Chains A and B, each alone.
Chain A
Amino acid sequence: MQGVDRDYDPGFSPQPTPPRKGWQRPQQTAQKPKRDPAPSRLAYRLHRMWLTPYFRRLTRVGLPAFLFAFLSLLWLSDDDRRASLAGGLTGMVEAVQNRERFMVKVMTIDGASGPVDKALRMMLPVDLPASSFDIDLDQLRSDILMLDAVRDVELRIKPDGVLAAKVIERQPMLLWRHARGIEQLDETGHRVASVTDRAVRSELPLIAGEGADKVAREAIQIFAAAGPMLPRVRGLQRVGERRWDLVLDRGQRIMLPANGPVAALERVIVLNQAEDMLGRDISVVDMRDGTRPVARVGIAAQNEIRAFQGRPLLGPDGRELPQDEDKKS
């Protein structure tokens, strides 16, 4: 027995240690499968579908647009909602427009006479104070220019809520009497205002006749040329919309030609100064013939001549008076 154990020496063995027969390893629990992500077929297909350009565009643009349109139309299909939406919108716009910054409080008018001033204030479409958004300056200006008395107007909204209007009025230069009444005209012949009576603006020269307003400028020139005769001038009459008759007091009349009436008038004035023609009994001086003046002698002078010649006298209408009557008288 001892011999068996003779070689026993702990820690030493002449032979290499035989491989151990696999010690008892702890039994492995079934290992969890490692995380091994792979897309499922569905996920894969959806992903591919998502990468399809048309589908992508449809989903990202078409679908939201459709939903938005659908929902908004659904919401708008109710009348009350539509009304409240419109009300809300206009309210919002007005809230902005009616801010203090935009309000027009005063209207100042420069260069307008009393009636025009009043008319302008009447023409303002809104009551002040009002928002400047409510005042359409272009429209207002064109409205104001429709007034005959206003030649030009400049409108602007100044800071601090001032609507400033600078008005240039028409200056009446002539009175025009026609079938419908008497009107004041400016130098271009545009109507300024009506007058009820000649005496209201007695300082203005008077013209008469149809179409006289269209040649107002010529009329003014004639009046200017008539300087020395002016105290005697009653007015100018347009004849046949063609030429002028200068009407003087005492029923005298100077018929001016259609062409060059001023020159003709100046000729008459020279004649008058030289020979005191108009102081005599001449009813009409006819300047229509350019070569010479033709004078029509007045009834009284004619009668005097006739009486001197022994011919029947003329009545005030220019006809011969019957002889017997003449004898009676």
Chain B
Amino acid sequence: MKDLYQQQRAMRNMRQAALQRGVIAVLDIGSSKVACFVLQFDGPGVYRETDGVGPMAGQTNFRVIGAATTRSRGVRFGEIETMAETERAIRTAVQAAQKLAGVRVDHAIACIAGARPASYGLAGDAPLKNGKVGQGDIAHVLASCEVPDFGRGRQVLHAQPVNFMVDGRSGLMDPREHSGQSLGVDMHVLTVDGDAIDNLIHVIRRCDMELAGVASGSYMSALSSLVEDEQELGAACVDMGGGATGVSIFVRKHMIFADAVPMGGDLVTQDIAKGLKVPMAVAERLKTLNGGVEATGRDDRDLIELGGETGDWETDRRTVSRADLIGIMRPRVEEILEEVAAILDAAGFDHMPSQQVVLTGGGSQIPGLDGLAARMLGRNVRIGRPLRIHGLPHQLTGPNFASAVGLALFAAHPQDEWWDFEMPAETYPARSLRRAYRWFRNNW
């Protein structure tokens, strides 16, 4: 895990450099669209507490100065499939956003929605030598976590300490300076396919930018669409994207679980295209304009012109009732939600204190979805929209931009990850000067 540590550290440094320069790009490479926001950090002091603004979830110190979105190309199930096409899509979005912002962006933070995420809860324990928790002890206990075999080619995307325990006192956010005999930690580790990350890095590097951070898509959309209370009390966020549906569970402001279903809105479109024998573009239009999951009696009489450009009059003049369309869409949406329910069950969502489910992502805009989801997931469900961030154009504030907005928040205020803490001194080479320096700093 050491090279991962170094790699993530390098990304953090790059993020710091970008923040110093004041401009960073946020790239949401989804299966249906690629969105790019250019963020400008003006540093603290723009708004003060005395102005009555308050921290506002930490989004007061940046501003979106350029935002662009384009149709995605070459991305399937939240993973990059065709590098060159994806590169073109990213170029389009980045160039448009740069043009809008009027500045050149060299650092990007991206999120990855698919790539088979897997969540692990790790626990570690270490005795305290000084009877008091110091910086080095935290590093020790983080290093003492028993790391399971993630499997070949897996890479750790997030490794966040979610809970610290000192002598059985659990639920500590910041154990520094606590006195006790032993320090324990619970860590949430999210791994994804390493190849997907490598592809992402490569494709962004081909766009002449440096990757200053990678995050999980489901985590990002939860960050932007869960309100603070939900993050604190416990909630699940379901990000219904085009190619993948991400699920993440939050409690006490920490992500404790994340997973993704490789099914999404594209599959619904595909079903409509197959069922009605229309091109994908027409199916997409039907889905977005007339789609739904709850059929009513009126929908039987609501005839939709299919249209089309086949050249055959009979084919192009067909009409279907909206009830037919709903009849095609609903089973697929149900299937996706079933998978989500299975994931939530597997994660033990039943045992959470609060069982709020927040649906977000482009798929959550299907009319009647909240009713269906409430029936399927059996809990209190709401449709979530991302937080408002400063400078974002109105047409980009919909739920389909949840993960992009979450990335912007993440860029401004990343959660403490394992690699943000100091490395335990033992991992340094034995004769390293830095090891000696660390020893002096910790013992004097």
Contacts and interface: CB of A to CB of B under 8 A. Distances in A.
Interface in B43-95: 70-71, 73, 88-89, 91-92, 94-95
Contacts of B311: 26, 28
A37 B311 CA distance: 26
Contact of A51 (B70, B91, B98, B310): B98
B91 A25 contact: no
Interface stretch (B99-107, B264-272, B295-303, B330-338): B99-107
A38 interface: yes
A44 B312 contact: no
Contacts of B70: 38
A52 B103 CA distance: 7
B17 interface: no
Nearest to A47: B95
A47 B310 contact: no
A21 interface: no
A173 B103 CA distance: 87
A47 B315 contact: no
Given A36-B71, A38-B92, A45-B208, 13 more contacts: A25-B312, A25-B315, A26-B310, A26-B312, A28-B310, A38-B73, A38-B89, A38-B91, A39-B95, A44-B91, A47-B99, A51-B102, A51-B104
Contacts of A25: 310, 312, 315
Interface string A28-56: 10000000111101011101100111000
Main secondary structure of the interface of A (DSSP, over half): loop
A220 to B, nearest CB: 84
Interface residues of A, number: 16
B312 A39 contact: no
B207 interface: yes
Contacts of A48: 95, 98, 104, 208
A46 to B, nearest CB: 10
Which of A36, A44, A53 has most B Cβ within 10 Å? Answer: A44
Contacts of A38: 70, 73, 88-89, 91-92
A106 B37 CA distance: 78
A27 to B, nearest CB: 9
Contacts of A51: 98-99, 102-104
A36 B85 CA distance: 11
A39 B92 contact: yes
Contacts of B71: 36
A28 B73 CA distance: 24
